[in-house]
Structure 1
């Protein structure tokens, strides 16, 4: 019997925040197949990510707010086994596409376990955890989804047409990642985890993220121009506008009172980013695959 606490700690709805990477890969995939699309989506968003969430929650045993849970319930023993079961199901679904894709899912899962496991605990190394989290949730996941959607092998990781957009997704996540830590300084410090946000300080975190967001925006604009898709730039900037406005308003409040570095504002930032980015990349998928044009006839 799965406890209610375990279901909450899996944080399945939290997968929404990582969906833009999947939709970006989908938009650029040359060999679309409905079965593979469904399998990749389910493996990632219904099983792999929740498995990672649950596994990390089991070892963190947070008492204060975490991503997707303002008041996390006490962790129960079944969480560990349910997280492992979800991981195995993700691998099985991946294996239905190919052994290569299943192995990619395994690598992602093992790295995510190393993030919180006490014997490794990457989370306590500020710069290393930042690099690894951004790389695997961005570049690696983009290439992995691209490979799964098209049934390709590990060679996709070094192909320029995959590496460039993959790096852009990592830039995007490297900018946002420290912001997800600003309200957890007390909790992380209790466990001896010196996260990047703690190292930078609250206001330093916002300055750092603003620089990364600027680089990300410039990178995407260059990318669309390199593909002769200048018309997409305006749609991209329109999607980014509400994210930028929210971020700037939050930063203004933070400069006046750092108490605004709290769960509600952080989840507000995440929610607006997820809605805007998912909407944009779904649109880009429809436009780039010419489905939009077909729908207009």
Structure 2
């Protein structure tokens, strides 16, 4: 029933690109506990995100490249059930912390289902889907991870010291999200999905993302310098430098020949570079901010 194609559509390695949000939350949580850390990490990156990937793939039925799969195999019914099982496991792990964290996982799961389910299909609406995807993969996930790591509940959404850095992660994702759609215009338009990148066009997508990347840099500078963390500010700049250089290089080639340079490989390298750079930075920030290395 659960064929190899279904497992491929879960795209578990793709969770790597969303790990910076988890590590940022980990750096700021006041109550570190190894058991909760593992439960939150596994529930999010091994089960919740793959469940969302599989569920979306089942209803999208993509025939061309998607994030993490150059040649996606044909979806089968087993993928639907596998995605539900993975969501159930995520909820089960969440309950080991508290019911409120599990309920947050459930809300995220419902929103991800609404993104692609034909009865709602948020993906059809350019700005709504962009706003919700960035909000839930960023700020909501940050708050959710913070709550799970600290054994808190929904009250974290009313704490400014939690939702402000969480919102910064959304700003970062709002800049990068349209770029992940830029090579899928043909297939999205065929399905009737008006993604933001399709609405903006190729040139518009790059200009739109460049504005949000600039805003991301300004806001993170304000955040770190406001906390008197100059080292973190410069560390973030160093992490973003290869990302911005790649982005500008890619944009340069796209202006020369968009047909040749708007493809899966260029998008995935953008993801790899940003994912690696930001994961390294936020892991360092966690070690630095918590001074955990001094214990040893």
TM-score of the superposed pair, with normalisation by structure 2: 0.99
**2:262 — aligned with what?**
261
Tell me, in whole angstroms, the C-alpha distance in 1 between the residues paired with 2:264 and 2:231: 36
> How far is 1:124 from its partner?
0.4
**1:175 — aligned with what?**
175
**Is there any run of 5+ residues in structure 2 with no aligned partner, and where?**
none
Kindly report which structure 2 residues correspond to 1:34-45, keeping only aligned pairs within 5 A, or say none: 34-45=34-45
The CA deviation string for residues 168-196 of structure 1, in whole angstroms up to 9 with x for no partner, is 00000000000000000001011000100
**1:234 — aligned with what?**
234
Kindly report which structure 2 residues correspond to 1:138-287, keeping only aligned pairs within 5 A, or say none: 138-259=138-259, 260-287=261-288
Kindly report which structure 2 residues correspond to 1:45-194, keeping only aligned pairs within 5 A, or say none: 45-194=45-194
Tell me, in whole angstroms, the C-alpha distance in 2 between the residues paired with 1:276 and 1:58: 31
> How far is 1:292 from its partner?
3.2
Tell me, in whole angstroms, the C-alpha distance in 2 between the residues paired with 1:287 and 1:241: 20
> How far is 1:294 from its partner?
3.9
Tell me, in whole angstroms, the C-alpha distance in 2 between the residues paired with 1:174 and 1:88: 28
Q: Secondary structure at the match of 1:120?
A: coil
Count of residue correspondences: 295
Tell me, in whole angstroms, the C-alpha distance in 2 between the residues paired with 1:48 and 1:190: 28
> How far is 1:293 from its partner?
3.5
Q: Secondary structure at the match of 2:74?
A: coil
Structure 1 stretches of 4+ with a deviation exceeding 6 A read none
Q: Secondary structure at the match of 2:235?
A: helix
Tell me, in whole angstroms, the C-alpha distance in 1 between the residues paired with 2:293 and 2:233: 17
> How far is 1:126 from its partner?
0.1
Q: Secondary structure at the match of 1:55?
A: helix
> How far is 1:234 from its partner?
1.3
The CA deviation string for residues 83-134 of structure 1, in whole angstroms up to 9 with x for no partner, is 0000000000001100000000000000000000000000000000000000
Tell me, in whole angstroms, the C-alpha distance in 2 between the residues paired with 1:294 and 1:271: 32
> How far is 1:232 from its partner?
1.5
Q: Secondary structure at the match of 1:73?
A: coil
The CA deviation string for residues 4-53 of structure 1, in whole angstroms up to 9 with x for no partner, is 10110000000001000000000000000000000000000000000000
| Contact 1:287–1:293 (8 Å) recurs in 2 | no
| Contact 1:40–1:94 (8 Å) recurs in 2 | yes
Q: Secondary structure at the match of 2:96?
A: helix
Tell me, in whole angstroms, the C-alpha distance in 2 between the residues paired with 1:275 and 1:224: 21
Cα RMSD of the aligned pairs, angstroms, is 0.7
**Is there any run of 5+ residues in structure 1 with no aligned partner, and where?**
none
